[in-house]
Structure 1
């Protein structure tokens, strides 16, 4: 059975790539490797999500990138909001090492990068949680990410998530609506739904 990117200690043979991520006049140079999500390019869903997130008005507070991988979304937000602190978390230790390397390489210092299985070691509340949830980890994990976000947001805080329609976006929207009392579709983009709920 092929090893999944949400394994804690990937054993795949190293295969370092270097890629660029450009968005809203901001630029990142990123190292990736085998055993992490979307190693060859920034996946379409993450880019579609980030295009929407960059336009949001946020309440004051920290930002959480849940399932950061090698860090493209969290590090891009850290560049956009140098005055804010960001937490970047993942269960994949190889991905976290890459995220730390990428933060250093891009001279980004307003990030704290640490291991967390979903919200297991997350103790704070945030103005924004962004996530491209690991669909292959199963619906239970994805549902936990969305439901438990409520407990980790400040008043007025937002969760923004991306799912493909065929991979459960409509049911995720129902769950978010039931949890938060609201869920907007910020965009539909090539089958990807960008969903946003706000803690009232």
Structure 2
């Protein structure tokens, strides 16, 4: 049986890996496993998103990461920003690993739990939503993250995604413009696009 990282309960045999990676000024220690996305190192797209995302001008409030995997984006942003970060994934194994990684890196300002996109998120007033969307799950899921994200953001909150040009960045940018009225490519790096929309106007 083929296992995908966007499945709820991967059945592939465990293959625990432990490695470190420097993000901001911290040497993070990560535990990963089979059945999760990019288990051997932090994928390049996630690194570009972490570097490009800015929280300084956001409204007060917490940040939501949709599709957190074993946690590198959300944990790095929680560490650097000091904001509360809610991290969700549909993959039970990924959520378990993200919790372990939060504990071993002593990052407490996070709330990590299962959710299929926005089904089980806790609030509707996030300052920002971040996602390295599961491209292999299909365009429908990517567009769901974009379309439904709008209602979960504060006014002046942002939705930021990373997506490769060849895997649908132009389509995603078009959908973000349709939903938000704006979508800016804030960074391009090796074919990866960081696209950001801002919720403008009243709630």
* TM tier relative to shorter chain: over 0.9
- Equivalent position SS for 2:87: strand
Partner of 1:107: 106
Consecutive aligned runs of 4 or more in structure 1 exceeding 4 Å deviation: none
d(CA) in 2 for partners of 1:40, 1:28 = 14
Of 113-122 and 50-59, the range deviating more from structure 2: 50-59
Residue 86 of structure 1 is matched in structure 2 by 85
Aligned to 2:53: 53
Which residue matches 1:185?
Answer: 185
Q: Confirm or deny: 8 A CA contact 1:21 1:72 kept in the other structure.
A: no
What secondary structure sits across from 2:38 in the alignment? coil
Q: TM-score, normalised by structure 1?
A: 0.96
Q: Determine the C-alpha separation between the residues in 1 that align with 2:81 and 2:14.
A: 32
Q: Which runs of 5+ in 1 are unaligned?
A: none
1-structure distance, mates of 2:86, 2:120: 11
Query: Following the alignment from structure 1 to structure 2, what is the Cα–Cα distance between the partners of residues 191 and 105?
Result: 33
After superposition, residues 4-153 of structure 1 pair within 5 angstroms as 4-54=4-54, 57-82=57-82, 84-124=83-123, 125-153=125-153
SS in 1 for 2:5: coil
Secondary structure at 2:112 match in 1: strand
What are the superposed Cα offsets for residues 166-185 of structure 1, whole Å, 9 maximum, x if unpaired? 11000100100010010010
Query: Residues 52-107 of structure 1, C-alpha deviation per residue, up to 9 Å, x if partnerless?
Result: 0147532110011110000000011110122x211010000000000010011011
**3-state DSSP of counterpart to 1:50:** helix
Show CA shifts across 1:98-127 (max 9, x none).
001001101111111111000001141211
- Whole-Å separation in 2 of the counterparts to 1:81 and 1:12: 35
How far did residue 128 of structure 1 move? 1.0
Tell me, in whole angstroms, the C-alpha distance in 1 between the residues paired with 2:81 and 2:160.
Answer: 17
Q: 1:116 to 1:98 in 2, by over 3 A?
A: same
Give 1:23 shift.
Answer: 2.4
The CA deviation string for residues 134-160 of structure 1, in whole angstroms up to 9 with x for no partner, is 001011111000111101111110011
CA RMSD of aligned residues (A): 1.2
CA contact (8 A) 1:20 1:29 kept: yes
Partners of 1:184 and 1:155 lie apart in 2 by 17
CA distance 1:54–1:28, shift in 2 (3 Å):
farther
5+ residue gaps, structure 2: none
- Report the Cα distance in structure 2 between the residues aligned to 1:120 and 1:87, rounded to whole angstroms: 13
